[in-house]
Amino acid sequence: MFGTCGIRKIYSSYDKSEKTFTPSMAVRLGLALGTFLDMQGKREVIIGRDVRTTSKAIEYALVSGLMSSGCKVFTIGMVTTPTLCMSIDFLRADLGVMITASHNPPQYIGVKLFGPGGLGLSPEEEQSIEKIYQDRSFMSKAWYEQGSVSEVQRINETHVKKILKKTKFKATRNIKVLVDPGNGSGSHIGPMLLNRMGLKYITLNSQPDGTFPGRYSEPSEKNLKYLRHFVATSHEIDLGIAFDGDADRVVFVDETGLIIEPIRVLTFLAREYVKDKYPDPTKRINLSVATPVNSSGVIEHVLEPLGVKVYRTKVGDINVSLTMNEHHGFMGGENCGVYIQPEFSGHNGPDTLMAIVLLLKYLGKYDVKISELLEEIPEFSYSKGELHLKHDQIFSLENYKNIRDELIPLLENSGFSSFQETYVDGLHIRFNSGWILIRKSGTTPIMRLTVEGHNDAVASKIQEIGEKVIKKLIDIVDSD
């Protein structure tokens, strides 16, 4: 039921098999969530939704299930996922529910769950909720024990004010921005933020529309072709900004129209934070950031010499948040454009608005174009591929260690050294001029191979060695 980022399925009005997401499922999910909270003596829930045409139907059904189990529900309307995360502590709630399918096509709908502090629920908590759902062991409430629902107004204004106050933003450069919310949840709050920052800006695809007529919701290079072209040819725009459907991801475009790889942005933000807050290197004690195993190694390349520990996690912003929380990390993010910084956002979830303010704040310190500034953060050669297995199987730690035993000698023979291996999410080996990640898909018979090298030739060699080892140890479908 729960995947890497909550529940996400194609919507239908009714489906007995529950292969799609339906309002009747949402009612039962509401009952399961209410029961889960009641077992802990809790009952206050916030619900936000994105712009999708089906999100209201799911919202009303969820509210019904939650109220029937005695919950006190606050609805905050069409908002971004970061705004939902901020609202949990602001309204002193026990649980936040975001109705969204993030960057997926418009026929999809889903639910993300967040606890106090905007921290995503742990896998164990999700399993407990799913067991209640599957067993139908819902709490029964009498007619006089029913819950309530109320609507909270102007939550976007609250979010913007809190971020600007925490970041202490002051416009020091005349930066002009083009923002593309992709007709998603960021359509109102994105321009509102830029306006309150006192910046000049132009909007593209900023009318909320659950059919996403302007572009596909995922802010990929292909989907952002008009934004990129506009920025590159305008000669006035300094920065392009693009959100996904629920604005928990943001992608930045430099003045030449090129997408800036998100981990390079994360590395820049973390570097500037450390230099600003800890100018004395001797004071940089127990500083850390978190990012998944498939993120660029540029983050270690730049931050480790500054005394910052980089923790690698499983893919998914919830895993990044949990690792940051465990190690008291000051920042984290993913290569899809997720940024987490509790000190400036006020919560532990992803916050694209915070990332925008922080980037523009740090850009204001320098009188150079963003493409020139980020030349200090190198971009390594990165590639990923898939190998289809003849027979699906579960890969254990022993399986991955067998791959390691074949892989490292071949890498050594090719001149690589200083190996550091982890098994957080598959097999990840980092070495002197790159890294390799071998990871079995959790849902399909596919082995994913991701590599990075300090140049194209190095990356190509690492990928060649990785494919050779996989094909030697595992039955692979012939690509020919």
Q: Phi and psi of 244, rounded to 5°? A: -95, -170
3-state SS assignment for residue 258:
coil
Measure CA of the first residue to CA of the last residue in the chain; give whole Å. 36
Strands 381-388 and 446-453 come out as: antiparallel
Asked if 470 contacts 439 with a C-beta cutoff of 8 angstroms, the reply is: no
List, in sequence order, the alpha helices (H) in 209-349. Answer: 225-234, 262-277, 298-303, 317-327, 342-345
CA atoms within 13 A on the CB side of 54: 21
Strands 331-334 and 287-292 come out as: parallel
- Please tell me the distance from the alpha carbon of residue 248 to that of residue 240, in angstroms, as a whole number: 17
187 part of the active site: no
Catalytic residue among 68, 69, 102, 381: 102
Asked if 219 contacts 250 with a C-beta cutoff of 8 angstroms, the reply is: yes
- Please tell me the distance from the alpha carbon of residue 393 to that of residue 442, in angstroms, as a whole number: 10
- Please tell me the distance from the alpha carbon of residue 450 to that of residue 297, in angstroms, as a whole number: 12
Q: b/e per residue, 175-191, with b = 16+ CB within 10 A?
A: bebbbbbbbbbbbbbbb
Both structure tokens of 133: 């759902």
Nearest CA-CA partner of 322 in 169, 117, 162, 147: 117
Name residue, tokens 């550091």: 420
Asked if 249 contacts 350 with a C-beta cutoff of 8 angstroms, the reply is: yes
Both structure tokens of 125: 């908590």
Catalytic machinery residues: 102
